[in-house]
Homo-oligomer: A and B are copies of this chain.
Amino acid sequence: MYSLGEIMEAKSIAVIGASRDPQKPGAQLLKVLKKVGFSGQVAGVNPQGGEVWATPLYRRLEEVPFPVDLAVLHIPPAAVPGALRDCAQKRVKGVVISSEGFAETGREGARIQREVQTILKSSGMRGFGPNTLGLVNTATGLTTSYFANPQMLQPGAIGFVAQSGIFVGALLRYLSSLKGLNLSKGIGLGNKVDVEETEALAYLREDKQTRLIAMYLEDVRAGRHFLKVARETAAQKPVLVLKGGRTPEGGKATATHTASMAMEDTIFEGVVKQAGLVRLASIDELIYTLKGFLFMPLPKGEQIAIVTYSGAQAIMSIDAAIEAKLKIAQFRPETRERIGRVIATPAKAQNPIDLFPDMLTHGFVKTSTEILEALLADPGVAAIIFISFANQEREAYGPLVEVLRNKNHKPVFFSLLGAKKDIEISQEFLEENGIPCFDFPERAVRVLARMGQYARQKSKALKEQ
């Protein structure tokens, strides 16, 4: 049986069912592989032969003149078992079954899916799907999704696993249009006829390019095994999880989506807790949390400092922090003194620090950089939330970025308010410089709380080992 790693490092791809119609999915995938610059060999298979997107189409898989590591199937369910036998003959290592119409649709689909399983088992080939866009390996430019583009294949540090068909592709398009949220590997599981979440997790745990793992799951097949692997993985890198089918109604819908088995959410929650996973409740929460983990180190405590220009936002941040079980740091005397020197009202040198209108006395840059230095130096401050104005001048936060450069031993999260366009300008600049920016400080606070919780679980897990 081939390992998942061998498939992810495939040096050649055959697209079975590549149409000569250049707009059809299989043909589009051949185009995408050219465009993203896949480093290996590529061929299409079509009973009529010919070519599409300057790629030859062979009548039969056996005619492909090079060994095929990975086959992508764009053919109807009934044709899949036959094609898989051809693949086995050709000594293909792995197959991605993109088509839908298997166990998620009823009895006949389920029968074919079982047949697929039998062929895979007896041949040692590894299978992904059915009903998935499949794989991404940004290190080699490998993708089996005909929606991919070069931006989506930029190398990053997120290992993404999704039990879904098209979702991983759509989300990837979104993620890759943000700053710094690129994938190392992407693994679509679909109906999980063979490769499932536990194997994907174990693979990503060992993958050098993957610093952080994000999962969208609809069920878990082998609970105990998953728990064991998840626990080992979370002790090494953060594992963020989003689960579809939390409610009975949602669970029922997963059956027709990826033929999932509903599982009690309390059971899944128990696995999350015992394994030390970071569970999120929505996609946007997943994305914000990814950003925090990727951009900043883990906090070494629960005490946060809040710098702000708006008392109201400071208060809402305090509420969010306390609700998330964080603490509001007490500054040491040196810190208070240092801050007191650059604000108009030294008595206000306490946490949260309200810069407005005090910053008008010494100017925003002097006041804010000095305060940031003081907070970075205070061992009683584990993390900093910096709430400020969006600025239409791209480099307005340049001096603050300079202070933070090479001093990122504690997380610093920005949150900017102002006109939407200005927020985009300032945010882009900050995130290009590795400083995460959140739409509202409450979000930053919640991400920080999750990072802190993960840090505690991880150090506990490491001690137990």
Contacts and interface: CB of A to CB of B under 8 A. Distances in A.
A397 interface: no
Given A284-B439, A419-B173, A310 B167 contact: yes
Interface string A135-154: 00000000000000001000
A406 to B, nearest CB: 29
B311 A442 contact: no
A458 interface: no
A47 interface: no
Contact of A320 (B282, B328, B417): B282
Interface string A165-200: 111001101101110000000000000000000000
A257 B167 contact: no
A174 B309 contact: no
Interface in A19-35: none
Nearest to A442: B282
B173 A418 contact: yes
Contact of A249 (B177, B245, B312, B328): B328
A434 B242 CA distance: 32
Nearest to A389: B170
B164 A311 contact: yes
A162 interface: yes
A312 B167 contact: yes
A393 to B, nearest CB: 16
A246 interface: yes
A302 interface: no
A368 interface: no
A253 B418 contact: no
B316 A244 contact: yes
A209 to B, nearest CB: 23
B282 A420 contact: no
Contacts of A316: 242, 244, 250, 282-283
A310 B163 CA distance: 12
A254 interface: yes
Interface string A229-255: 000000000000010111111100110
A206 interface: no
Contacts of A211: none
B166 A356 contact: yes
Contacts of A364: none
A410 interface: no
A377 interface: no
Contacts of A162: 312
A318 interface: yes
A250 B284 contact: no
Contacts of A247: 318-319, 322-323
B420 A311 contact: no
B318 A250 contact: yes
Given A253-B314, A322-B249, A323-B246, A177 B417 contact: no
Contacts of A322: 247-250
A440 interface: yes
Contacts of A258: 311
A282 to B, nearest CB: 4
A93 interface: no
Given A315-B254, A323-B246, A442-B282, A310 B164 contact: yes
Interface string A321-354: 1110000100000000000000000000000100
A429 interface: no
Most B CB atoms within 10 A — which of A167, A284, A352? A167
30 contacts: A100-B357, A163-B312, A164-B310, A165-B310, A166-B310, A166-B311, A167-B313, A170-B309, A174-B417, A174-B419, A174-B420, A177-B421, A244-B315, A245-B319, A246-B319, A247-B318, A247-B319, A247-B322, A247-B323, A248-B322, A249-B322, A253-B311, A253-B314, A253-B318, A254-B315, A257-B314, A281-B442, A282-B440, A284-B440, A284-B442
- Which A-B residue pairs are the 5 nearest by beta carbons? A167-B312, A257-B311, A177-B419, A244-B315, A247-B322
Given A244-B315, A250-B315, 17 more contacts: A151-B419, A163-B312, A166-B310, A171-B417, A177-B421, A177-B422, A178-B420, A218-B315, A246-B323, A247-B319, A249-B328, A250-B322, A257-B311, A258-B311, A283-B440, A284-B440, A284-B443
